[in-house]
Amino acid sequence: MMEIYYGSIENDECRIDSISQSWACISNAGDNDKKYISMNSLETHLVDKENGIIKLLDPPFNKSKLNPGYVKSYLPGVRENGGQYTHAAIWAILAETTLGFGDKAVEYYKMINPIEHSKTKEEAIKYKAEPYVIPGDVYGANNLKGQGGWTWYTGSSSWYYKVGIENILGLKIEKKMLKIEPCISKDWEEYSIRYKYKTTIYNIKVKNPNHKNTGIETFKLNGNEIQEKQIKLQDDGKINEIEVIM
C-alpha cells in the first residue's frame, strides 16, 4: 500500500503546509533546531508580502493524484487550497513569538490586518471586503490574489485578539496571577495596557530602553520591585501602577 504525505518536498502540490510548521513550535514537539528551519521555510514559501498574506499551503491542489478531501474542491488559491486561511496565518505569528522573533511577529501581525489592505482606493478595490473585520480567508493565486473571503468570522478574530494581547504585548493571566512576557519589535520604545480586574484597575507601562524583542529586567508594582516578576490579582477597588523594564 502506497503511503501519501501532505506537506512533503516530494510532492508537486502541497509541498509545504503552515500548520505543521507552526505547531511544531507552538506545541514544543519539534526538535529545537528544526523549529527554526521550519519557520524559515514557512517564511520563504508561504509569506507573500506583496499581497500581504500568509498562505496555508503551497502549491495549491489542482491536477495531482493527491486527494485531501473537500479542500481540493476550491479553486487553486482559494480558501484552504493555497489561500490565506486566517486561523493558520495567526498560528504562524504565534509560532514566531515562541521563538522570540518579535520583529517578524509584529510585521506579520500588521501585514494581515485588513486595514493594511484598504489604505488606498486601489488596494480597497483589490481587497473587496470590509477593512474593519478579520476575514476568514484571503485568496492567494492568479487574478484573485489579495481578495478577501469570508468576513465576520469570529474564530479568526478571536485568535487575532488573543495573540496580540497575550503573545505580542505579553499580558498573561493564569490562576489569578498576572505577568508580562512581551515579544515585540526592537524599535518599540514603550507601550501601555489598562487592565481591569473586577473592581481593581492595573495601569501597566512597558518600557524597552535596550531595544529588545523579549525578556524583562524589572517589574514594579506601585514603585516597589517584585522579584518574582508577577503579582496576584486583587479585587480591592484600587488603582495600581505597574512598570516593566525590558
pTM: 0.93
Tell me what pLDDT residue 2 has: 45
Tell me what pLDDT residue 70 has: 80
Distance of CA 137 to the CA centre of its chain: 14
Could you state, in order of their start, the residue ranges of all structural domains in the chain? 16-167, 172-245
Digit-coded pLDDT (tens) for 165-186: 999 999 999 999 999 999 999 9
pLDDT at 65 over 80: no
Query: Quick one: CA torsion of 173, 175, 178, 179, rounded to 10 degrees?
Result: -80
Average per-residue pLDDT for the chain: 92
Into which CATH architecture does domain 172-245 fall? Sandwich (2.60)
Residue 84 binned pLDDT confidence (cut-offs 50, 70, 90): very high
Do the bridges between strand 239-245 and strand 200-207 make them parallel or antiparallel, or are there none, so unpaired? parallel
Residue 59 binned pLDDT confidence (cut-offs 50, 70, 90): confident
Digit-coded pLDDT (tens) for 181-215: 999 999 999 999 999 999 999 999 999 999 999 99
Into which CATH architecture does domain 16-167 fall? Alpha/alpha barrel (1.50)
Question: What CA–CA distance (Å, rounded) separates 132 from 118?
Answer: 9
Counting Cβ atoms within 10 Å, is residue 115 exposed (0-12), middle (13-18) or buried (19+)?
exposed
The cell for 92 is 504562524
